Structure 1
Amino acid sequence: MSLPIIKYCPGTLSEGFDTYSQTCLKRLFNGRKVHHILPYDSPASNPETDEVFEDSRKTISISGVQEKFSVLQDKNKLRLVKEGERGTHILKPIPVVGKRNDQMPANEHLTMQIARQVYGIETAENGLIFFKNGTPAYITKRFDIKEDGTKLGQDDFASLAGRTPQTHGEHYKYLGNYSELFQLMETYLPAYKLEAPKLLKVLIFNYLFSNGDAHFKNFSILETSMGDYRLSPAYDLLNSRIHVQDQDFALDDGLLTRNMAQGKIGQQFAILAEKSGISRKAFDNIMSLMLTHSDKVERLVKACFLNGSTKRNFWQAYQGRLKQLSKT
């Protein structure tokens, strides 16, 4: 694969850049002039590189099906971590599973940028980066690591619910329904009333952009400077339907308990909001936001690094979900 021709910032997708924009560098790399091409080939491309990746693989404990590598930013350079080091970023190369797997890094990057730029959802800082053989990877900055290298407390919702493969089986993170997330937040977050609408917005976003893998481990709470907890920035957002034939919702019971999941999808979100103590006014404001700004979504889709057919599929999927969500 040859190196791509860059016309849009591989971070913000702003037009007129042949590398990262200053805005992206500030957010993703603390203002350092990091290059968008890594100094090594992608995994499984040559034996020497594979040995380095194998060492890095042993140092990361973040769960998930997609392979992840821990990366350390050293001034304006990025390198895979060594044993005993704590990474500042997570690198996600093209996975070995799924349809159109070569499009997955660009898919996640685009979806995360839409969440932030169009809908104001706080997300983990992210961008695309390329190995020297031209293969893309998704890169994200760890929000649980402070600039001085110390770590903030973070717990995903599976941990909060006391679920592990040992106690609840291999399917543990997909059990239940999304109203249970709000119940856990009420228990652990002092500022629940401020945080609950943020979670609802992410759930509506996941439906709108066909993210069918938003399970209990893909939501978490994060320690604040005051020592209490809040909802963490969103992460692992992508149109999963492009790669696997999954359901509308990742959790087995869907959005709500089966006896409460009545009416069209917009009505179900309204029930979830009411059940979670979110005011009707706040819900209406969220829905109004999520049902508008198609022009901004279209601009980012056109600027993204997906190939032509996958761009069309992404856009058509969004249009279909938008139509369903707008029905009353």
Structure 2
Amino acid sequence: MTRCPGCLKADQATFCAPCRKRLFDGKKVPFELPFSRPDYDRAKREDVSGRMSISGVQTKIPLALRDGKLEMAAAGGQYILKPRPHGSFDRLDMVPINEHLTMQIARRVFKIAVAENALVSFSDGEVAYLVRRFDVQADGSRLLQEDFAQIASRSEETHGKNYKYDFSYEEIGRLIRRYVPTSKVDLERYFALVAFNYLVHNGDAHAKNFSLIRSNLTGAYALTPAYDLLNTRLHLPGESQTALDLFADGFETESYKANGFYAYDDFVEFARRLDLVETRSRRILEAFIAKRPDVFSLIDSSRLSDECKESYRKHVDDRTKAFSYSYSDSRR
């Protein structure tokens, strides 16, 4: 069955009309790129160093839409192309498909705002992941975007090689409260995104993978759409359960002390520390339990190999059980 390479809608020969509108402002753009993977490799060379992670082995290049075709750009561009990375991790040919699927699960199942994205193909058939930049305006100008490593003044020079991991989700929440005028809304969005990363085993959701963006009209900051979402456990079986600690200052709930993994009580406490409305945060958590069949359905409709589909379902099943478990019976 042929599916839209954007939203995975069935019975689509190419990008469906809604995806063309979101991705390409309605223009008809072919699924196949006008260059090959060897062409890409010649244009892009990147050193890999530091902590081993999926993001650390992925290369990317800007693309510009010209005359209905996506072409490599020396700089700028409205899009970013991320092909299969090179390295020693498992199933690297599945990385672009994994990222696209995970972004679609976030958007379609849990209504999380994400960067517009799709799969495309090199001219020699290899599949790659395409994302539209949300910081680039129609006239080519860019909005100011700062990730939370920048906002927290954390860098390799000041905090060492693990600077983007030696932080906590609670501390990011404090920065949102400090800098975002509509923090009540964005903290709820942020809470849902942290919980989603836990559900899909994204062990690389570090401080640089959450950002604020500034409006040119008002000058106010807001949380950006989500980006760089994928199930890292498919490629790094020993990946940590989260990139960052949930809580600041080494705090652990009684549930975590007893079981060694984050569960329902941990996210209830996390929501409390973000000052979320309790009924709303609990509704978000319950959705991660109730919508497991919808997640499985999208996994099954993806281009992942059968082995990866089985592993992805198992990972989500394990995390759904964690969300369902309350050490203190607080789900009652």
Report the TM-score, using the length of structure 2 for normalisation: 0.89
Q: Give the drift of 1:113.
A: 0.1
Q: Distance in 2 between matches of 1:31 and 1:9?
A: 15
Give the match for residue 14 of structure 1: 9
Q: Indicate the residue corresponding to 2:134 in structure 1.
A: 143
SS at match of 2:187: helix
Instruction: Give the match's secondary structure for 1:273.
Output: helix
1:116 aligns with 2:135: no
Aligned to 1:95: 85
Q: Of residues 29, 34, 38 in structure 1, which corresponds to 2:29?
A: 34
Q: Distance in 2 between matches of 1:139 and 1:117?
A: 18
> Where in structure 2 are the equivalents of 1:212-223 lying within 5 Å?
212-223=203-214
- Counterpart-to-counterpart distance in 1, 2:253 and 2:157: 30
CA contact (8 A) 2:63 2:80 kept: yes
Distance 2:300 2:67 in 1: 33
Offset at 1:295? 2.4
Partner residue, 1:194: 185
Encode CA deviations 1:120-159: one digit per residue, 9 max, x unaligned: 0000000111111111110000000011111011000000
Aligned match for 1:272, one of 270, 277, 300: 270
Match of 1:81 in 2: 73
Amino acid at match of 2:228: D
Which of 307, 310, 316 does residue 309 from structure 1 map onto? 307
Count of aligned pairs between the two proteins: 310
1:205 corresponds to 2:196: yes
The offset of 1:53, in angstroms, is 3.7
Structure 1-normalised TM-score? 0.90
Q: Does residue 171 of the first structure (1) align with residue 169 of the second (2)? A: no
What does 1:242-253 align with in structure 2 at a 5 Å threshold?
Answer: 242-244=234-236, 245-251=238-244, 253=245
Q: Where does residue 3 of structure 1 map in the other structure?
A: none
Aligned in 2, Cα 1:285/1:230: closer, same or farther, shift over 3 Å? same
SS at match of 2:194: helix
In the aligned structure 1, how far is the partner of 2:40 from the partner of 2:291? Answer: 43
Amino acid in structure 2 at the alignment position of 1:41: S
**Matching residue's letter, 1:95:** P
Deviation, structure 1 residue 284: 1.2
SS in structure 2 at match of 1:295: helix
Pairing 1:68–2:60 present: yes
Q: Does the 8 Å CA contact 1:207/1:321 hold for their aligned counterparts?
A: yes
1:229 counterpart residue number: 221
Instruction: Tell me if structure 2 keeps the 8 A contact 1:249–1:255.
Output: no
Q: 1:234 to 1:49 in 2, by over 3 A?
A: closer
Q: Which residue of 2 aligns with 1:297?
A: 295
Gaps of 5+ in 1: 1-5
Structure 2 distance, partners of 1:49, 1:290, is 38
- Give the corresponding residue for 2:259: none
Structure 1 residue runs of 4 or more that deviate by more than 6 Å after TM superposition: none
Moved more, 71-80 or 258-267: 258-267
In 1, are the aligned partners of 2:292 and 2:320 still within 8 Å (CA)? no
Distance, in Å, in 1 between the alignment partners of 2:172 and 2:223 is: 11
Alpha-carbon RMSD across the aligned residues, in angstroms, is 1.8
- CA distance in 2 between partners of 1:78 and 1:259 (Å): 48
Amino acid at match of 1:81: A
CA distance in 1, matches of 2:200, 2:178: 29
2:286 is matched with which residue? 288
Q: CA deviation at 1:254?
A: 4.3
| Residue correspondence of structure 1 range 122-141 to structure 2 within 5 A | 122-141=113-132
Whether the 8 Å contact between 1:255 and 1:261 is mirrored in structure 2 is no
